[in-house]
Structure 1
Amino acid sequence: MTTNVLACIDGSSHATAVCDWACWASQRLAAPLSFIHVLDKARQPGLADLSGSIGLGSQEHLLEELAELDEKRGKLAREQGRIMLAAARERAIDDGVAEPATLQRHGGLVDTLVELEPDTRLLVLGRHGEESASAYAHLGSHVEQVIRALHRPILVTQGEFKAPQRIMLAFDGSATTRKGVEMLAKSPLFNGLELHLVLVGADTDDNREQINWAQNTLAQAGIQAHAAIVPGEVDKALPQYQQDNGIDLMVMGAYGHSRIRQLLVGSTTTAMIRSARVPLLVLR
């Protein structure tokens, strides 16, 4: 079964970067690209039930006008979505992507993405939704919900797109990050790019053995990786390494059994992404 790069498009400031990252990934993976816009009824301003308000129940014309207004809002939201999808498709074609597809769905974002998961190879979405005005606003709640619900790699974008040259994989020797190394070894996504393996902890024989395994696994696949063991706290050491080494994209496992796990299931997720100032690829 052919699996797609699926990109979530909305009215947020991240939409352009989502589009560009999705185009980049689609071409690197030689995978079809699909854009999706989800009309989440729960997030749309809708018609409140005002029939119980004093004197309002008898004013049927007012209720009819409110119902018409609600219908107009729905039509405008659908049309806005179609316009955004058309613009994303045109941008992708200009970037050299062949026949990008567009989808517009009604319902909850997470439920919709779970439904499409079997046909998804990589999901691309912005760090926050259109409710947030700042490009570095608080991590949208939907992002963490999606990370918890899906079992596909998820690329969380932020800022403007720049084709990555240096990639950092946060490695801790856990089963999850070992699986991540094996996934990267098989994937064409990072072919020809500079890859850094970073383990946060003490420079012990065990940690050295773990990171050597990762480096050798990648080397067998023809990928030369820089390996580093750095001291400190994970949520400080990884962003610092990223800044010191000009890392364009961070890669982490979503669920492990180390302190890296806490970064992606707790409140420190927000601080991690904000401090790094680069996109984050979450491996499942």
Structure 2
Amino acid sequence: MTEQVMAAIDGSQFSEAVCDSAAWASQALGVPLTFLHVNDNHTAPEEQDLSGNLSLGAREHLMEELSRLDEERARVAQEQGRLMLQAAKERALEDGVAEAATRQRNGTLVETLEELQNEIRLLVLGKRGEGVDQASEHLGSNLERVIRTLHRPILMVPPAFQRPEKVMIAFDGSRTTRKGVEMLARSPLFEGVTVHVVIVGADLADNRSHLDWALETLRGAGHQAEGAIRPGEVEGTLHTYQEEQAIDMLVMGAYGHSRIRHLLVGSTTTDMLRRTRIPLLLLR
């Protein structure tokens, strides 16, 4: 089964950035691109029960009418999904992708992606879906569930795409984050990109040794790499470094160890994802 970049789109303001990011990733990785739209049957508006005081004939008629409306809603949702997928495909072709596939499924996004994950090399998602208040800082609940369910790299994108030139990876020397550095080093996704390795902690011999290993691994693979050890609280320190260095993509292990682990398995996960204004690649 061929692995591919899979881009989940909906009617949110993030869909264009998802399309552009997925097109870039597909071309950089040299793998096929598929756009996915999921019609979530669980989000249909609840119908008020108006049948309690009706005669049998009227109640049957009402139930038939409600059933007809449900079918009509499903048909409209299917057509909307088809049009979104067609628009996404056309945008990808304009971005230089040779060919893009489309898939439309019924169900929930999380269950659908879990079923398809063996086909996924990289999943591209928007920060929030169409059902979330776009003016708020709220993070889409689907994104959190997908991160905790899938065992594939996930690229979360903001509303506008920008080809990354400076990437930062949060590193703590653990086995998981070392795998992340090795994955980044060999990935064609980051060819020609400057990589910043940041350890949040004290400037001690162990951390210095970890940082030296990461920089040697990246430079040995042909990357321009820079490193830093910064004291402080993880989330705030990473955001500060990102702003100072004009980092345009953040790479993290979804489940690391030590303080990085606590960052991405506790409530701070949501804060980190919510506050970032740049793409965030989560490695599993």
Identify the TM-score tier after normalising by the shorter chain. Answer: over 0.9
Aligned-CA RMSD value: 1.5
Please give the alpha-carbon distance, in whole angstroms, between the structure 2 residues aligned to 1:211 and 1:88: 41
Give, in angstroms, the shift of residue 122 of structure 1: 0.1
Contact 2:35 2:85 in 1 (8 A): yes
2:52 aligns to what?
Answer: 53
Q: What pairs up with 1:114-193 in 2 under 5 angstroms?
A: 114-134=114-134, 137-193=137-193
Q: After TM superposition, which residue ranges in structure 1, 4 or more long, deviate above 4 angstroms?
A: none
Describe the SS at the equivalent of 2:151: coil
Give, in angstroms, the shift of residue 157 of structure 1: 0.8
Deviates more, 1:256-265 or 1:68-77: 256-265
Contact 1:13 1:135 in 2 (8 A): no
Q: Cα–Cα, structure 1 residues 55 and 18, in superposed 2: closer, same or farther, change >3 Å?
A: same
Contact 2:51 2:62 in 1 (8 A): no
1:35 aligns to what?
Answer: 35
Q: Which amino acid aligns with 1:171?
A: F
1:196 aligns to what?
Answer: 196
Contact 1:10 1:130 in 2 (8 A): yes
Deviates more, 1:107-116 or 1:86-95: 107-116
* CA deviations over 1:44-98 (Å, ceiling 9, x no partner): 22556x3762326542222211111111111111111001000000000001101
Describe the SS at the equivalent of 2:38: strand
How does the TM-score come out when normalised to structure 2?
0.95
Give, in angstroms, the shift of residue 276 of structure 1: 2.5
Deviates more, 1:216-225 or 1:128-137: 128-137
Deviates more, 1:75-84 or 1:56-65: 56-65
Describe the SS at the equivalent of 1:22: helix
Contact 1:135 1:159 in 2 (8 A): no
2:209 aligns to what?
Answer: 209
Please give the alpha-carbon distance, in whole angstroms, between the structure 2 residues aligned to 1:254 and 1:222: 25
Please give the alpha-carbon distance, in whole angstroms, between the structure 1 residues aligned to 2:247 and 2:257: 25
Please give the alpha-carbon distance, in whole angstroms, between the structure 2 residues aligned to 1:226 and 1:101: 38
Contact 2:180 2:253 in 1 (8 A): yes
Please give the alpha-carbon distance, in whole angstroms, between the structure 2 residues aligned to 1:71 and 1:266: 41
Deviates more, 1:60-69 or 1:225-234: 60-69
Describe the SS at the equivalent of 1:273: helix
Please give the alpha-carbon distance, in whole angstroms, between the structure 2 residues aligned to 1:57 and 1:36: 43
2:68 aligns to what?
Answer: 68
Aligned residues: 283
> What residue ranges of structure 2 are gaps of 5+ in the alignment?
none
Describe the SS at the equivalent of 1:161: coil
Q: Does 1:274 align with 2:274?
A: yes
How does the TM-score come out when normalised to structure 1?
0.95
> What residue ranges of structure 1 are gaps of 5+ in the alignment?
none
1:260 aligns to what?
Answer: 260
Give, in angstroms, the shift of residue 166 of structure 1: 0.7
Please give the alpha-carbon distance, in whole angstroms, between the structure 1 residues aligned to 2:134 and 2:160: 13
Deviates more, 1:127-136 or 1:84-93: 127-136
1:246 aligns to what?
Answer: 246
How high is the sequence identity, in percent, across the aligned residues? 58
Describe the SS at the equivalent of 2:188: coil
